[in-house]
C-alpha cells in the first residue's frame, strides 16, 4: 500500500480523493499496489466530509512522515504551494500537481530539486486538464523534432467565444453566461486576458523545445477586444475566432511564443473545438500533425490526470522519470512582431485604401458603412503595425494557416 498526501481540498484536491476512492480497485491494478490517502492538508475544516479524519492543518505532519511517498499539490498559486512543493521534494517525496502557474514560473527549479533527490515532479494536469498531453509530448513524440505546438488552452475563453460565434452573443453577455454556469470566476482576468493560456503555452514550449520560457517574455493578448462584428465578418469569410497559445521554432534556434486571438478556417479540426473543451495541435518532423482533444478543466477530468501521475509516481518510486528543460539565453523568445502571418484587418477605410496600403487583399463582405474588412497576404507583425498606424484600425488578428 502506497501512502500519499493531498495538499489543498478544493475542487481538484477533493476530485483526486474521490477518484482514488471510486476507482480504487482499477487504480490498484494499474499501479501494482493500492494507493491510500493518509493526509489532506487544508486551512479549513470539512466536518461534513467523509474525509475529515484525514485532515490536517499542519504541513509538517506530511513533511516529517517518511511513510508518505507521493504528495499531490492542489493548492494553486506560487506562495505556500511553492514552499511546500520544494520541501516535499527536498524530503525525498515525489510531487504531482495541476498548478500551471507554479510549473510555468518555478518548474525548472523544482524539477532540478526532484532530480537531485531522485524523485519525480509530475504535472500532466497543468495543461489541458484531463487531456493526455505532457506524456504524449515527452514520450510518444520522443523521436520527433517538434516544429510547432498551438491550441485552445483555456476553456473559459473558448466558451465565451463559442457563445459569440454560435449564438451571436456580445462579449459581455457571453462572459455573464460563463460566470452563471461556473465556467468563469467573478474576477475573470486570468482567463479573459490570456494569462492562464500564457502559463500553459510556456509549459508546452519548455517541454517541446527544451528551454525555459518565462511567462513575462510571452506576448499575451486576451479576448476582451473582440467585437461581435469581427465574429460575424470572420464567419462570412469561412473563419472562426479562437484564442490560441502558440509556440514555434525558428530556423535560428530561437522560438516564438505568444497568446492571441486568431482566425481559423472553419474546415480545420481545431475550429470545431467548442464550449469549454480544449484542443492542442502538435507538429513533428516525422509524425506530421496530431491533435489532442478533451475537457481542459473541471473537477474529475483534472483529477483523472492528477491520479494518472500519482500512479506513475507510485510505479517509479526509485526510478526518476527523465523530465526537464534547460535555462534559456536572454533573447531566446524572439519578438512576436517578427512573425509572418496573414492578417484579418477591419478599419475605417475603403477597399481601395486598404488595397493601396496592404497590396493584394481578400475583401470580406458585410462590413459596416464606412468600414472595410480584409485578409492580407503574409506580412510580419511589425509591418502590419506600421501600415495600421496610417488608418483607424478596429481589429487586427492573425490567421492561423
d(Cα 282, Cα 284) in Å, to the nearest integer? 7
Minimum gap (Å) between residue 274 Cβ and its own copies: 9
Q: Is 184 or 207 the residue whose CB approaches its own copies more closely?
A: 207
Minimum gap (Å) between residue 96 Cβ and its own copies: 11
* Residue in the structure block whose three cell numbers are 465565451: 160
Among 33, 90, 136, 320, binds its own copies (CB under 8 A): 136
Collapsing DSSP to helix, strand or coil, 141 comes out as: coil
**Cell numbers that stand for 269 in this block:** 479540426
Minimum gap (Å) between residue 150 Cβ and its own copies: 14
d(Cα 312, Cα 289) in Å, to the nearest integer? 27
**Choices 83-91, 177-185, 287-295, 385-393 (CB under 8 A): range interacting with its own copies:** 287-295
Minimum gap (Å) between residue 156 Cβ and its own copies: 17
Question: Is residue 200 flagged as an active site residue?
Answer: yes
Helix extents (H) in 181-227: 189-192, 195-209
Residue tagged active-site, from 200, 211, 242, 387: 200
Among 155, 235, 294, 381, binds its own copies (CB under 8 A): 294
Q: What is the dihedral of CA 314, 319, 321, 322, to 10 degrees?
A: 170
**Cell numbers that stand for 71 in this block:** 504528495
User: Can you give the length of the chain in residues?
Assistant: 401
Among 46, 51, 292, 394, binds its own copies (CB under 8 A): 292
Collapsing DSSP to helix, strand or coil, 359 comes out as: coil
d(Cα 26, Cα 125) in Å, to the nearest integer? 20
Among 172, 185, 289, 338, binds its own copies (CB under 8 A): 289
**Choices 72-80, 107-115, 233-241, 286-294 (CB under 8 A): range interacting with its own copies:** 286-294
For position 26 contacting its own copies by CB under 8 A, the verdict is: yes
**Choices 147-155, 301-309, 327-335, 365-373 (CB under 8 A): range interacting with its own copies:** 301-309
d(Cα 297, Cα 130) in Å, to the nearest integer? 7
Among 7, 260, 273, 400, binds its own copies (CB under 8 A): 273
CB neighbour list of residue 255: distance below 8 Å, 6 or more residues apart: 205, 209, 211, 213, 247, 248, 249, 332, 333, 334
Minimum gap (Å) between residue 176 Cβ and its own copies: 25
**Interface of this chain with its own copies, residues 40 to 99, rule: CB under 8 A:** none
d(Cα 271, Cα 152) in Å, to the nearest integer? 9
Q: Is 124 or 230 the residue whose CB approaches its own copies more closely?
A: 124
Q: Is 47 or 288 the residue whose CB approaches its own copies more closely?
A: 288
Check the CA dihedral 352-354-358-363 and report its sign: negative
Q: Is 149 or 396 the residue whose CB approaches its own copies more closely?
A: 149
- In contact, 122 and 102? CB cutoff 8 Å: no
For position 319 contacting its own copies by CB under 8 A, the verdict is: yes
Count CA atoms within 13 Å of residue 38 on its CB side.
Answer: 18
For position 124 contacting its own copies by CB under 8 A, the verdict is: yes
> In the β-sheet with 55-56, what is the strand arrangement from edge to edge?
55-56, 35-41, 2-7, 68-73, 94-97, 121-122
Residues noted as catalytic: 200
Positions touching its own copies (CB under 8 A) are: 15, 19-20, 22-23, 26-27, 29-32, 124, 130-132, 135-136, 139-145, 210, 267, 269, 272-273, 284-295, 298, 300-301, 303-308, 310-312, 315, 319, 322
Amino acid at each position: 500500500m502506497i501512502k500519499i498526501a493531498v495538499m489543498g481540498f478544493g475542487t481538484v484536491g477533493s476530485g483526486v480523493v474521490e477518484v482514488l476512492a471510486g476507482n480504487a480497485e482499477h487504480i490498484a491494478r494499474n499501479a501494482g499496489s493500492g494507493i491510500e490517502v493518509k493526509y489532506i492538508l487544508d486551512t479549513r475544516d470539512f466536518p461534513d466530509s467523509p474525509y475529515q479524519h484525514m485532515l490536517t492543518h499542519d504541513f509538517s505532519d506530511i513533511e516529517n512522515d517518511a511513510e508518505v511517498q507521493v504528495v499531490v499539490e492542489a493548492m494553486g498559486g506560487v506562495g505556500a504551494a511553492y514552499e511546500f512543493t520544494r520541501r516535499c521534494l527536498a524530503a525525498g517525496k515525489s510531487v504531482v500537481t495541476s498548478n500551471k502557474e507554479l510549473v510555468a514560473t518555478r518548474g525548472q527549479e523544482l524539477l532540478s530539486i526532484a532530480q537531485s533527490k531522485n524523485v519525480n515532479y509530475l504535472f500532466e494536469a497543468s495543461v489541458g486538464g484531463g487531456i493526455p498531453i505532457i506524456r504524449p509530448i515527452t514520450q510518444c513524440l520522443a523521436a520527433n523534432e517538434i516544429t510547432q505546438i498551438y491550441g485552445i488552452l483555456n476553456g473559459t475563453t473558448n466558451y465565451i467565444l463559442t457563445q459569440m460565434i454560435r449564438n451571436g452573443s456580445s462579449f459581455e453577455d457571453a462572459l455573464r453566461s460563463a460566470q452563471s454556469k461556473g465556467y468563469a470566476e467573478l474576477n475573470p482576468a486570468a482567463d479573459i486576458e490570456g494569462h492562464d493560456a500564457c502559463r500553459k503555452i510556456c509549459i508546452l514550449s519548455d517541454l517541446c523545445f527544451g528551454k525555459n520560457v518565462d511567462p513575462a517574455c510571452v506576448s499575451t493578448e486576451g479576448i476582451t477586444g473582440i467585437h461581435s462584428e469581427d465574429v460575424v465578418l470572420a464567419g462570412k469569410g469561412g473563419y472562426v475566432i479562437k484564442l490560441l497559445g502558440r509556440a514555434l521554432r525558428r530556423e535560428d534556434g530561437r522560438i516564438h511564443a505568444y497568446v492571441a486571438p486568431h482566425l481559423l478556417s472553419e474546415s480545420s479540426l481545431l475550429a470545431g473545438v467548442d464550449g469549454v473543451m480544449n484542443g492542442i495541435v502538435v507538429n513533428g518532423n516525422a509524425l506530421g500533425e496530431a491533435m489532442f482533444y478533451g475537457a481542459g478543466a473541471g473537477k474529475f477530468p483534472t483529477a483523472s490526470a492528477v491520479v494518472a501521475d500519482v500512479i506513475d509516481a507510485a510505479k517509479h518510486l526509485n526510478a526518476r522519470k527523465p523530465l526537464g528543460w534547460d535555462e534559456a539565453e536572454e533573447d531566446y523568445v524572439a519578438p512576436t512582431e517578427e512573425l509572418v502571418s496573414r492578417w484579418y484587418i477591419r478599419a475605417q477605410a475603403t477597399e481601395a485604401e486598404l488595397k493601396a496600403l496592404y497590396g493584394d487583399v481578400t475583401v470580406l463582405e458585410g462590413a459596416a458603412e464606412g468600414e472595410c474588412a480584409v485578409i492580407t497576404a503574409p506580412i510580419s507583425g511589425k509591418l502590419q503595425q506600421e501600415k495600421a498606424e496610417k488608418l483607424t484600425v478596429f481589429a487586427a488578428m492573425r490567421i492561423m494557416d
